[in-house]
């Protein structure tokens, strides 16, 4: 497991919520130093800590572990859905048509 990649995803999710390391640390009852260590991929977190971080950041474990867990699909589809929904409706319809064409092949 590439802890640096997982840590970077946690950092990206934290920044997307406009939280500092200190604010995330307070939400999950950790020190900001511990959050920094996790984000840099220097330490494996306990499961309960990982779940608390995911919950605090409003992201799924799948999203944080998308390339680590062999059967992680939700994270990929959630990221794809988020990207598509941020586009104008005309672009969304184009992408859906392309995806439908690929599926029907």
Q: Where are the domains of the chain?
A: 1-70, 73-105
Q: Is this structure's pTM higher than 0.85?
A: no
Enter the CATH code of domain 1-70: 1.10.260.40
In whole angstroms, give the CA distance from residue 47 to residue 104. 40
Task: Give residue-wise pLDDT tens across range 16-41.
Answer: 999 999 999 999 999 999 999 999 99
Would you call 100 helix, strand, or coil by DSSP? Answer: helix
pLDDT above 80 for 95: yes
Q: According to the model, what pLDDT value does residue 75 have?
A: 54
pLDDT band at residue 74 under the 50/70/90 scheme: low
- Nearest CA to 63 among 71, 75, 48, 54? 75
pLDDT above 90 for 67: no
- Nearest CA to 45 among 20, 9, 73, 71? 9
If one compares 22 and 65, the residue with the highest pLDDT of the two is 22
pLDDT above 80 for 80: no
pLDDT above 90 for 81: no
């Amino acid at each position: 497991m590439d802890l640096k990649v997982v840590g970077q995803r946690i950092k990206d999710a934290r920044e997307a919520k406009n939280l500092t390391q200190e604010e995330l640390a307070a939400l999950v009852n950790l020190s900001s130093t511990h959050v920094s260590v996790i984000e840099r991929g220097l330490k494996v977190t306990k499961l309960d800590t990982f779940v608390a971080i995911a919950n605090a950041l409003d992201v799924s474990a799948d999203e944080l572990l998308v390339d680590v867990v062999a059967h992680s699909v939700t994270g990929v589809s959630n990221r794809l859905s988020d990207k598509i929904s941020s586009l104008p409706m005309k672009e969304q319809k184009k992408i859906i048509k392309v995806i439908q064409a690929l599926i029907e092949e």
